[in-house]
Chains A and B, each alone.
Chain A
Amino acid sequence: MTDVLGMTLTELRDEIASGSISSQQATKVYLDVVEEREPQVSAFREVLADRALTRAAEVDDERQAGKDAGPLAGVPIAVKDNLCTPFGRTTCSSKILANFKAPYMSTAVGKLVDAGAVILGKTNMDEFAMGSSTENSGFGATRNPWDLNRVPGGSSGGSATAVASRMCAAALGSDTGGSIRQPAAFCGVAGLKPTYGRVSRYGLVAYGSSLDQIGPITHDVADCALLTQVISGHDPRDSTSLTADVPDLPAAINAPPGSLRIGLPKEFYSDALDVEINAAIHKAADTLAQTGAQLVEISLPHSRIDRDAEGKLSSYAVACYYIVAMAEASSNLARYDGVHYGHRTSKDVEGIVEMYSKSRAEGFGQEVKRRIMLGNYTLSAGYYEAYYSKALKVRRLIKNDFDEAFKLCDVVLCPTTPTTAFQIGEKASDPLTMYLADIYTISVNLAGLPGLSLPCGLSAEGMPIGMQLIGPPLGEPVVLQVGRLFEQVSGISRLTPPIVERTGTN
């Protein structure tokens, strides 16, 4: 039979369209892999096997009846569990929403379904997307398919693991501070955070609303282009979604980039950066330079990374991000109170305030509670000016830096992460160190820009290294073009993790 697991999303789509394989056959292949590998990696919150097979049969029937079943007809795709679907549950990997069934469809998943995709299941994540390792899931951590003792990154760790482990053709994640790009880098796959507003947030359970953006995690850059194309566009239900037309991204990435200036932010190449990653990124830059691209040094002063006297790292961007995201989160998560939504305590309570308090104490995990408390603190009377208001000013400065940089270059190249995937438990007890895992990705969210992570090599320990390409607002075409160019000239793409080699299903 056709080698389903060796294909990208785009290839599988074409095979199904040509009739060489049915959607039902492809879906069964993936479901078998899920059954085999899920016990090892815990990528899914819920596998919707019966539903997926029924849907696959429908798509096959439509195709056989000669109907245009859409640009994703029959391909099995997994979605992060913070995307509302009227089937299955939408738990955000939180015990407080353990039984939440959304009565409506998120716009992004709705677009996938309309394009003919088969939704295979909902993927595990850090609770309410708060985390960089997927260890904060209320239902157990996901493991990295390259090394089961390591984290897959987060918060879209389930989606990245599912794609890297060949448990689905592609997946959707969400990215508030790096939650698509960082796990994509850790798992050796491609992931794009689109420009803020490019994809409707309607139906994405909010974490940091001014930063959240839905995007694809895929086997390669072409797949990113295809999925982004499908889920993008203005949505009357999200007034922050952009009205600009969506370009034909799959076509755009194959166009030659022409004269290309690649910006290297000097602040990002400090001693904070892992030596191997530093080398890999510079090698990637050289690879692109060999195609004729011009390398230019740029400066992002307000995104710089400092090291204090004790050797601890710090960054304006990280500080700014956590104030903005936590403030928004504290308000967004107020609705889970046991009255309207969420777990309600079964203990005896005196009055409604105690009911709120006990329900929330029982339902939320540690990291979520921490962020709600910090968010409430920074918004409190007397602290607002010192924290939230100041953070908004820093955010503006960070954005201005990028505006200046894009006068000198077409795309920014930098690492996605300061290290490769770390050990499970390594940073779990030190939230500040954990927050620094997003040191290279956070500025992109604060500035609302598109950012793509794609693999650019392996470390000596055999762990994937990700490089990040950042574009100006609505610069998805150039970011994807450069990514595609890099894949073609470097030959680094579709990396195969040991779990796939070991079981030999590939």
Chain B
Amino acid sequence: MNGAQDIVRALIGMEIHVELGTATKMFCRCRNSFGDRPNTNVCPVCLGMPGVLPVMNRQAVEYSIKVGLALKCRVPNFCKWDRKNYYYPDLPKNYQISQYDLPLSAEGSIEIPLEDGRYKKIRIIRAHLEEDAGKNIHDNPTHTAIDLNRTGVPLLEIVSQPDMNSASEVMAYAQTMHRLVRWLGVSQANMQMGHMRFEPNINLEITRNKKTYKTPIVEVKNLNSFRALRNTVAYEIDRQYEQWQVDPSGYAMDKMGKQNRGYDDASGRTVYQREKEEAHDYRYLPDPDLVPVIVADQWRDEIAASIGELPLARRQRYMADFGMTFKEADALTQEPATGDLLDRAINKGADPKRCVNLLLGKGAAIANEQVCSIAEIGLTDDHLAELAKMLASGDVNATAAERIFSKMLGGEQGPRAIAEAEGLLAVTDTNAIEAWVEQALSANPQAVEEVKSGGKKQTKVLGYLMGQVMQKSRGAAPPTEVQKLLRAKLGL
């Protein structure tokens, strides 16, 4: 039977691990830092030495609550710590301190943008805090090295419902979450440093001849790039459908349960991982070394008040209030500072559209060169507002504004002072413009002849003469005025 009439629906849920950007680790005061010499950010506590005790990092809890509240989760007044017991060389205590039945936050949701411009709500099951493990380094054939610098780094695990149905939805979810944690300032979310890791759970619901089949859920662990995530999900959807077609009744969730596959970066595919000998039983128990976390209403309210406008709300406001396109609004809500700058400039009376054009034109280009955000290129809201106003009043033209924009970054001088010093203010004196036109025409007799004789080169040569005049005005002459005078002199 061919699958032409099959209805295939992918069901994808995701666990995202976010390393929080606290100064110190979750349960000791070692530095939380990436890339240091192996086993230098360690102490008896994170090494799990006999007799040591963990002490909770309140900042990490606060960061986690912040994420929970931003995800519209329920943040209960009481939560506790549990031990998840399993043996692994990168886990010195052979248990991980985590949260089992009473996480810091639960039952929330987040809106993700779809390609057609609509939004979709993805439900969040829970977000709980735990300690990261160290790293096993397999770069030697005879032994495994262990680096415990990462051991005990605070790790927030955000678990979604299987509400995503395609690779592009998964990408939108991952990118929305990536932006959110950076927006909230709780993590650098640097993918290269492993600050954010994805674990999608993927299976298919296939309807054939009014009968519904479910393929086994495949979990792919530890994906640390968006590319790997997209490849994994796209590949798994195809692969599972193909495998199901071979054996529709055998390749089924109720027969095979959950499976683990690994991602192979070289081929962009997932590969079968040998089933573990037994199902994991983590033998959770409440950690007697830590007191429960009491989240008082006042503390929770303070954290909630510190959140401010979230990227989605800001994007929607920009589109509604300032008429921005989705792309413009999206580009200005990568992080909060750029939009904050824009909002302040607009509050100072600048025209939104002109501000946006400046920010996303020259501003974005410079930010791109410097590999930073637009807010970080050295622009102040006062300068932005002033320059936008000068554009609106015709005091400078767009070309001059670009030059002024570059020169005012990080400097004391405002745009008007720069324009005056550089002679970039629009010249409204017709005599001066006329003089530049005369000079250009007399310096280019051949061009004048070509224009006058008409023909197909006329427009191009006119443009050349126009450029000559603009150059003489150092960009300060209003182009419409130049054109008008030029045409008049040439008798066009």
- Tell me the A residues contacting B by CB distance below 8 Å: 82-84, 90, 92, 97, 100, 102-104, 106, 201-206, 208-210, 236-240, 327-328, 330-331, 334-337, 339-341, 352-353, 356, 376, 379-381, 384, 388
- Decide if A335 touches B44 in the complex (CB within 8 Å): no
Q: In the bound complex, how far is the Cα of B56 from the Cα of A353, in angstroms?
A: 31
Q: In the bound complex, how far is the Cα of B89 from the Cα of A208, in angstroms?
A: 24
Candidates B50, B56, B285; contact of A331 at CB < 8 Å: B285
Q: Is B302 an interface residue (CB 8 A)?
A: no
Candidates A103, A331, A352; contact of B89 at CB < 8 Å: A352
- Chain B's interface size range is 20 to 34
Candidates A210, A327, A356; contact of B87 at CB < 8 Å: A356
- Decide if B285 touches A388 in the complex (CB within 8 Å): yes
- Decide if B53 touches A84 in the complex (CB within 8 Å): no
Given contacts A102-B51, A240-B288, 15 further A-B contacts (CB under 8 A): A102-B49, A102-B50, A204-B51, A206-B51, A209-B288, A239-B55, A327-B285, A331-B83, A331-B283, A335-B94, A336-B50, A340-B48, A340-B92, A341-B49, A379-B285
Q: In the bound complex, how far is the Cα of B288 from the Cα of A202, in angstroms?
A: 13
For B447, the chain A residues whose CB sits under 8 A away are: none
- Decide if B49 touches A202 in the complex (CB within 8 Å): no
- Decide if A380 touches B48 in the complex (CB within 8 Å): no
* Chain B window 116-141, contacts with chain A (Cβ cutoff 8 Å), 1 for yes, 0 for no: 00000000000000000000000000
- Decide if A379 touches B50 in the complex (CB within 8 Å): no
For A209, the chain B residues whose CB sits under 8 A away are: 288-289
- Decide if B50 touches A97 in the complex (CB within 8 Å): yes
8 nearest CB pairs, A to B: A334-B94, A210-B288, A379-B283, A209-B288, A205-B50, A84-B51, A205-B51, A203-B51
Nearest to A353 among chain B residues (CB) is B87
Most buried by B among A106, A202, A335, A384: A335
Q: Is the interface of A mostly helix, strand, loop or mixed?
A: loop
- Decide if B56 touches A335 in the complex (CB within 8 Å): no
Candidates B51, B87, B284, B290; contact of A202 at CB < 8 Å: B51
Q: Contacts A201-B53, A202-B52, A239-B56; is A335 near B85 (CB within 8 Å)?
A: no
- Decide if B87 touches A334 in the complex (CB within 8 Å): yes
**Residues from 30 to 88 in B contacting A, C-beta threshold 8 Å:** 44, 47-56, 83, 85, 87
> How close is A15's CB to chain B, nearest CB, in angstroms?
34
> How close is A220's CB to chain B, nearest CB, in angstroms?
29
> How close is B232's CB to chain A, nearest CB, in angstroms?
28
Q: Kindly count the residue-residue contacts between A and B in the assembled complex, taking CB atoms under 8 Å apart.
A: 96
Nearest to A376 among chain B residues (CB) is B283
For A204, the chain B residues whose CB sits under 8 A away are: 51
Candidates B51, B53, B95, B284; contact of A239 at CB < 8 Å: B53
**Residues from 139 to 198 in B contacting A, C-beta threshold 8 Å:** none
Q: In the bound complex, how far is the Cα of B56 from the Cα of A206, in angstroms?
A: 18
For B284, the chain A residues whose CB sits under 8 A away are: 379, 384
- Decide if B283 touches A330 in the complex (CB within 8 Å): yes
For A337, the chain B residues whose CB sits under 8 A away are: 87, 94
Candidates A201, A239, A328, A334; contact of B93 at CB < 8 Å: A334
Nearest to A324 among chain B residues (CB) is B288
22 contacts between A and B (CB under 8 A): A83-B51, A90-B50, A102-B49, A103-B44, A202-B51, A203-B51, A205-B50, A209-B288, A210-B288, A238-B55, A239-B56, A239-B291, A240-B291, A328-B285, A331-B85, A331-B283, A334-B93, A334-B95, A335-B92, A340-B48, A356-B87, A381-B281
- Decide if A104 touches B49 in the complex (CB within 8 Å): yes
For A339, the chain B residues whose CB sits under 8 A away are: 89
Q: In the bound complex, how far is the Cα of B49 from the Cα of A84, in angstroms?
A: 10
> How close is A497's CB to chain B, nearest CB, in angstroms?
32
> How close is A245's CB to chain B, nearest CB, in angstroms?
19
For A388, the chain B residues whose CB sits under 8 A away are: 285
For B93, the chain A residues whose CB sits under 8 A away are: 334-335
For B89, the chain A residues whose CB sits under 8 A away are: 339, 352
Q: Contacts A335-B94, A380-B281; is A202 near B53 (CB within 8 Å)?
A: yes
Q: In the bound complex, how far is the Cα of B52 from the Cα of A237, in angstroms?
A: 8
